Amino acid sequence: MRKIVLAFLSFMPKSLRSHIIFEMQSSIGRMITGRLKLDTTKKNYINLGCGDTYIPSQINIDFFFPKFKIDYGSDLRYPLKIDSNSIDGIFTEHTLEHLTYDQNDRLMAECFRIMKPGAVFRILVPDVSLFANNYAANNKAWFDEWERLMFINSESKERAARKLSTPMEAISFVTQEYYHMACWDFQTMKYYLEKNGFKNVTNPTWRQGKDPELLKDLDSTDRKYVTLYVEAER
């Protein structure tokens, strides 16, 4: 059966094949993964969509079958298998842009449900308004620095080989590449957070915020250059 499935998939375009495999992994993961078990003798914080950034003091959550270390698998497009009013804070860095607005809407409702009253939700995403404002201002220096940080000085050989032909290509990069699906600025983030019950939505800066345990922002110059920092209270 495995050989038949692999043979069938091999005739498909790579993008379609990857999508089918991803959805199969999601279905299997959601079937076999139970509810998150929490240690109620201590505070519980979540690193949501952790990627390869593992935070030892938090519960690191990402997709079921990642290439990196996690504590718990979840598909963030679906309800979280986590008890209500049980989480003391949530940190997420450059994750929500990979979901659609509808998916983010549902995820924020789930985060509100699982968080304790007064808990802080710290969100870091690419700030698309930076790109739009600098494009409108014809700020070539800003895009030159973006190219230096994101392409020329990149540790990725693929990125380092790229050139920024026009500022619009930078906007295309931040809104469409790496499976980006939602564009964020503070106004839009605030709208969705308040829509789902969060209050006191603020726009802090790098490693500035209300709960020291959530100030885990990567110390990365290229990230700092383009990141929107948002905090909200449950």
Q: Encode 58-121 in three state secondary structure.
A: CEEEECCCCCCCCCEECCCCCCCCCCCCCEEEEEEECCHHHCCHHHHHHHHHHHHHHEEEEEEE
Mean model confidence pLDDT for the chain? 94
Residue with tokens 């999601």: 26
User: How far is the C-alpha of 73 from the C-alpha of 26, rounded, in Å?
Assistant: 10
* Amino acid at the residue 13: P
pTM, two decimals, is 0.93
- Structural domains of the chain, ranges and CATH numbers in brackets: 33-127+184-233 (3.40.50.150), 130-172 (no CATH)
* Segment 35-56, tens digit of pLDDT: 999 999 999 999 999 999 999 9
In the chain, % of residues over pLDDT 90: 89
Cα 134–Cα 108–Cα 207 angle in degrees, nearest 5: 55
* Segment 105-152, tens digit of pLDDT: 999 999 999 999 999 999 999 999 999 999 999 999 999 999 999 999
* Segment 20-32, tens digit of pLDDT: 889 999 999 999 9
